């Protein structure tokens, strides 16, 4: 009978220890550790994410129950005080950097998107994570409410959060979007919350295609009309240019306006894009696919610990968020490698029951 280490030990082998230690050295601040380490913090917080632990006491008691199996993970048990202190004080940037390393590993194994074109496809959106203002005074959002905001550019190849940043709740979506270095030739799908004609012009200049919805009060004139396939729900396909004084100045480029009626809901949409080559129905399908980023936010909020936090400082909150995103990438990598039909939620549920069992990881999933 072949020997297998615990499932969690096999998962952590996806992160080379020397690579982690190099990042930990680069992102160290304050006094050196005596017994604790950043690896111990990471392993403890990762297990807390995968096993659904809700508090520092819950996390530590869970690790204590598995004390005899921690040696193979290269870690020991951290006390509540020590874990809290590390989360509060040691820079979260370590886990942001680790997220980048894991993302590269996932990208190499991710399946292609479901469209026939070869361009990279991204959906941009943001979600607000509510915080209690009295407990998190640094996260002031409104007079009685605190929040941080998670901005994501979701790559449809494997549905990976390729571009991600965490900001104060007051930061507007478009402000974060401008910082995303999207690759040339890619297609980005956005909703009306990202309406910024100057940014559209910047995307055009960088040879990046966008698909969004046209504002109801936009002023324009039609330059050219194309024949449409009404059987596919397309009501119009036009080349337009803006006539509003400020809009025309910010975006003097001709764009494509597409009208579409959804056959299932009967709702009518008007899309705006700078892509002149794709079929009108494909443009409509691209906007419909933007729903994947909403599903991503729903999934991480339901299955990972990013709504309740075990620390109150900004560093502790960002540490927990970035480790949760590392957990998401580990789960995505397992799904890509196993090539099985289970959803990521099913994989997570199986892992929760088998984290400290000695069995083949890929067969477990």
Q: Supply φ then ψ for residue 131, to 5 degrees.
A: -130, 150
User: What's the mean pLDDT when you consider all of the chain?
Assistant: 92
Residues pairing with 258 in the sheet? 237, 271
**Are the C-beta atoms of residues 162 and 103 closer than 8 Å to each other?**
yes
Looking at residue 364, its pLDDT comes to 53
pTM for the full predicted model: 0.93
Alpha carbons 153 and 352: distance in angstroms, whole number: 28
Residue 69's CB is within 10 A of a number of other CB atoms, namely 17
Looking at residue 15, its pLDDT comes to 93
| 364 token code pair | 């477990």
Q: How confident is the model at residue 69 (pLDDT cuts 50, 70, 90)?
A: confident
Question: Positive or negative CA dihedral for 348, 349, 352, 356?
Answer: negative
Looking at residue 303, its pLDDT comes to 94
What's the mean pLDDT in 310-326? Answer: 96
| 165 token code pair | 């940043």
Alpha carbons 133 and 91: distance in angstroms, whole number: 22
Question: Positive or negative CA dihedral for 215, 219, 224, 228?
Answer: positive
Residues pairing with 242 in the sheet? 220
CA proximity to 191, closest of 249, 234, 127, 245:
127
What's the mean pLDDT in 261-265? Answer: 92
- Asked if pLDDT for residue 33 goes beyond 80, the answer is no
**Are the C-beta atoms of residues 156 and 292 closer than 8 Å to each other?**
yes
**Are the C-beta atoms of residues 275 and 128 closer than 8 Å to each other?**
no
Looking at residue 297, its pLDDT comes to 97
**Are the C-beta atoms of residues 46 and 326 closer than 8 Å to each other?**
yes
**Are the C-beta atoms of residues 287 and 233 closer than 8 Å to each other?**
no
What's the mean pLDDT in 103-112? Answer: 94
Q: How confident is the model at residue 1 (pLDDT cuts 50, 70, 90)?
A: very low
């Amino acid at each position: 009978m072949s020997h297998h280490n615990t499932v969690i030990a096999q998962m952590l082998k996806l992160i080379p220890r020397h690579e982690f230690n190099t990042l930990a050295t680069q992102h160290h601040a304050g006094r050196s550790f005596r017994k604790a380490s950043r690896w111990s913090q990471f392993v403890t917080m990762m297990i807390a994410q995968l096993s659904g632990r809700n508090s520092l006491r819950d996390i530590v008691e869970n690790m204590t129950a598995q004390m005899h199996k921690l040696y193979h993970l290269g870690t020991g048990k951290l006390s509540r005080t020590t874990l809290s202190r590390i989360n509060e004080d040691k820079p979260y940037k370590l886990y942001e950097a680790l997220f980048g390393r894991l993302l590269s590993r996932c990208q190499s194994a991710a399946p292609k998107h479901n469209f026939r074109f070869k361009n990279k496809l991204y959906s941009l959106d943001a979600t607000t994570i509510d915080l209690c203002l009295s407990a998190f005074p640094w996260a002031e959002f409104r007079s009685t409410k605190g929040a941080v905001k998670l901005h994501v550019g979701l790559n449809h190849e494997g549905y990976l959060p390729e571009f991600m940043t965490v900001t104060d709740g007051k930061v507007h979506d478009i402000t974060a979007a401008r910082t995303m270095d999207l690759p040339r030739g890619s297609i980005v799908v956005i909703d009306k919350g990202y309406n910024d004609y100057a940014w559209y012009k910047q995307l055009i200049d960088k040879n990046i295609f966008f698909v969004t919805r046209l504002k109801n009060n936009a002023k324009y004139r039609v330059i050219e009309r194309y024949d449409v396939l009404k059987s596919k729900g397309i009501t119009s396909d036009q080349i337009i240019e803006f006539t509003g004084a400020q809009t025309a100045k910010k975006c003097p480029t001709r764009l494509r306006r597409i009208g579409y009626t959804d056959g299932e809901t009967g709702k009518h949409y008007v899309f705006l894009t700078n892509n002149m080559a794709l079929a009108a129905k494909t443009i409509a399908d691209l906007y419909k696919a933007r729903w994947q980023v909403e599903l991503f936010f729903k999934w991480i909020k339901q299955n990972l610990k990013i709504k309740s936090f075990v620390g109150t400082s900004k560093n502790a909150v960002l540490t927990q968020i970035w480790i949760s995103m590392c957990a998401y990438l580990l789960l995505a990598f397992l799904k890509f490698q196993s090539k099985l039909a289970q959803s990521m939620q099913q994989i997570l549920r199986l892992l929760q029951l088998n984290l400290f069992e000695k069995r083949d990881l890929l067969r477990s999933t």
